[in-house]
Chains A and B, each alone.
Chain A
């Protein structure tokens, strides 16, 4: 029996369709289908100037929009050969890591709600607001920030931002321990997670899965470490991995990443130098190509821009981690129960906005 899960389904968190073939409750085949949120951003970007595209890239992924606009700025800076002031880099890193925590918290909320633990949804959503507030103080918006610019950031940090960020990190680390009690301490949560959605290392590497699902399969590959960008090499943190490759490993990796992100925010805030936070970038980009590659909360985000000497990009290609990860759904799902669909697909942190572009 084929079952359609989507496009409107509580499991999907966005618009996509998962068709599963079930034998009783066991899944024998799965076929994801995306494209319900295709907006043609790549085409739209060809008609906009480089600066006008920044809000567009914000709307790529609603969970972590700052990462994407940052990635876009990195790409265009690579194309234009613009050197970013160091203060701007630190501000960017702090903001991105806040965004990463917010994104992971949103994932945790959705994941808990999927598994049926409404309390997890509520608590994580509550604490996510703190980082949203910080980002709002920094950028002026709650979800789509439009903050990074080509050659820096839009404006300097607001007063007391340093103090508030440090306090938020302290609070968050306390709360994270609480979540660990709530989830790891729950027998039912462990039953639903341990050993579910086993994903072997070789499959993960072959199918192009990146980010936390890849690291949860035991591959130590974090672009912040392996192909460092911005000021990450000057900060002390670890790439979190887990050898098991099941849903619990993915949960664990994301929890650990939140701890690491708190560490990074603290260091970035403390090491932030004084100085300019933005330089004026040229309006026109030279002919050539630019490449940006960052570690998105969901995996490897990548952009490839082709400039033709005008103020508009000739071609902008966006690599979405989720788009590739979803294509591996069949490998993960087959053999598990219908109820595991929510755990496995939820554990991937689906963000259809970036997958469909």
Chain B
């Protein structure tokens, strides 16, 4: 049996290869944990804890497109210091939570960006930083720019500005923390 990527439970079991074990774990654990009061109880206890951890450790992808990328770099430099909030840039999409799109996405780049988004493990969020990423900005009517990154990636936070200032970026991160906090979900029951 192949792990169904749509099923979030698959991801978190240390990937044992044995089919039987997966089947067994699927049936037994899911039955016990997901659909019974035990799961609800565990969720009730752990929900806040996991949510606290998730919102306080946001790893954006180190991915610069245009002007806003510079402000992204400045935001991690001493004056603005996004590290205070636990924001650390990782270079590989596999270890990131947030895809920070900070510039216009050209038609040539679009498939690559979509692929980057698909490579990120869930739960994941997308921040569209700057006018170019929100709507195409000054290049909205260009023949080679996608007018807005939300045409092919779901976007959670929009940070306006051309370019958005570092304070705005940090504010965006804090807004993202709020979003994560508001959408509190149990790991097992999904409620």
Contact = CB atoms under 8 A, between A and B. Distances in A.
Report if A and B touch in the complex (beta carbons < 8 A): yes
Interface in B51-83: 61-67, 69-71, 73-74, 77-79
A44 interface: yes
Contact of A7 (B77, B104, B109): B109
Contacts, number: 95
Question: For chain B, which range describes its interface: under 10, 10 to 19, 20 to 34, or 35 or more residues?
Answer: 20 to 34
A81 B142 CA distance: 30
Interface in B107-137: 108-109, 112, 116
A1 to B, nearest CB: 19
State the majority secondary structure of interface residues on B: loop
A10 B62 contact: yes
A142 B142 contact: no
Contacts of A126: 77-79
Nearest to A142: B165
Interface string B71-104: 1011001110000000000010100000000011
B142 A44 contact: yes
Interface in A24-53: 35-41, 43-44, 47
Nearest to A34: B108
State the majority secondary structure of interface residues on A: loop
A55 interface: yes
Contacts of A85: none
Given A14-B69, A144-B163, 15 more contacts: A7-B109, A8-B112, A14-B64, A14-B66, A36-B106, A37-B66, A37-B103, A38-B144, A40-B145, A41-B139, A44-B142, A62-B70, A128-B74, A129-B77, A129-B79
Interface of A: 7-10, 13-15, 35-41, 43-44, 47, 55-56, 59, 62-63, 65, 106, 109-110, 121-122, 125-126, 128-129, 142-144, 353, 356
10 contacts: A36-B108, A37-B104, A39-B142, A40-B145, A125-B73, A125-B77, A126-B77, A142-B71, A142-B165, A143-B70
Interface of B: 61-67, 69-71, 73-74, 77-79, 91, 93, 103-104, 106, 108-109, 112, 116, 138-139, 141-145, 162-163, 165
| Closest 9 A/B residue pairs (Cβ) | A125-B77, A62-B67, A40-B142, A36-B109, A39-B139, A10-B91, A126-B78, A40-B144, A38-B144
